[in-house]
Amino acid sequence: MPIMKSRWAAPTLQLANRMKSKPLPRKTKKHAADKRSKRKVINQIVENDLIRRVSFEEYRDRVRHVYDGPQGAILATCSLLSLHLTFGERLIRERKFDVGGARQILDVGSGAGQIAKHLLKYADPGARLTCFDLSLPMVRRGRNRLKNGLPDHLVADVTRLPFDDGTFDCVTCGYVIEHLPDARLGLAELARVMQRGGRLLLLTSEDTFGGAWTSRFWCCRTYNRRELREICHSLGLVWKEELWFTRMHKALRAGGICVEIVRT
């Protein structure tokens, strides 16, 4: 039997096509822009502003103090509750960020060893892992939690790394650069210690309401995705792929910025 075409189909299609090609009316565009700038202002009000008010040295002492103390002690539990541990492991287990073949891996601002734990599980057996953190108690906590004698652990600041140029072919940096007044301070150092063609998994807080709210607890800032990409490019760190923990995170722009970067 021939399929009967609905007499509504053609006009509806025409209307849909017309709507698709029609530019948004000026009023609607202005309304959307107003909404965006209002949201930006609210986020700026909510976001922790200590980083903008004091010198970097003073701010860094404050950050160290935060992680040395009780907040640092509950960091691993927070990561567990926020599902950062589960989703982070999935990224590496499913090779969305592939650590296979890496020989020299650096985990920046290891904290309680949340990412290092996945690296130990999924990297090649011969790979060498180096973990560092600004806070000595955090380094101890990470080492105790990993219960593995293989990684090297040290206290260091991402803006002044004690490694030679081109040492690492793989770097992971989870939620650390939001503790810098300018991302260039840390990213330039990472670019220096990375080999050409080396890969970096970078996670950081985004300038969304969720990001601003989280910054209050962890005494950090947030980044605008486009601006951060431009900074990375200027340092030879090219964004290969933006990653998301889940489709829901992508739809809601939640979970922050997560990106695979190649050192060119």
Ligand X SMILES: C[S@@+](CC[C@H](N)C(=O)[O-])C[C@H]1O[C@@H](n2cnc3c(N)ncnc32)[C@H](O)[C@@H]1O
Binding stretches for ligand X (CB under 6 A): 63, 67, 75, 79, 109-111, 114-115, 133-135, 138, 157-159, 174-176, 179, 218
**Residue 178 beta carbon to ligand X: minimum distance, rounded to whole angstroms:** 8
| CA pair distance 123, 129, nearest whole angstrom | 9
Cβ-based nearer residue to ligand X, 12 or 217: 217
By beta-carbon proximity to ligand X, the closer residue of 157 and 182 is 157
3-state DSSP assignment of residue 262? strand
Q: Which residue is nearest to ligand X (CB)?
A: 174
When the beta carbons of 35 and 121 are compared against ligand X, the nearer one is: 121
The values of phi and psi at residue 172, to 5°, are -120, 135
Q: Quote the tokens at residue 59.
A: 């701010």
Task: Between 70 and 126, name the residue whose CB sits nearer to ligand X.
Answer: 70
- Least distance in Å: CB of 159 to ligand X? 6
Q: Which is nearer to ligand X, 35 or 65 (CB)?
A: 65
Angle between the N-to-C axes of helices 26-46 and 209-218, in degrees from 0 to 180, rounded to the nearest 10? 10
Least separation in angstroms between CB 177 and ligand X: 8
**CA dihedral of residues 256, 80, 86, 182 (deg, nearest 10):** 30
Question: In angstroms, rounded to a whole number, what is the distance separating the alpha carbons of residues 155 and 95?
Answer: 29
Question: Tokens at residue 243, please?
Answer: 């990653």
Instruction: Tell the smallest beta-carbon distance from residue 204 to ligand X (Å).
Output: 10
CB of 65 to ligand X, least distance (A): 10
Output phi, psi for 175, to 5 deg.
Answer: 55, 50
**Nearer to ligand X by C-beta: 68 or 98?**
68
Give min distance, CB of 139 to ligand X, in A.
9
When the beta carbons of 51 and 264 are compared against ligand X, the nearer one is 51
Instruction: Supply angle C-alpha 14, 19, 22, rounded to 5.
Output: 120
Q: Least distance to ligand X from the beta carbon of 181, Å?
A: 11
In the chain, the amino acid numbered 170 is C
Q: What is residue 22's DSSP assignment?
A: S
CA distance 109 to 196: 22
CA distance 154 to 134: 9
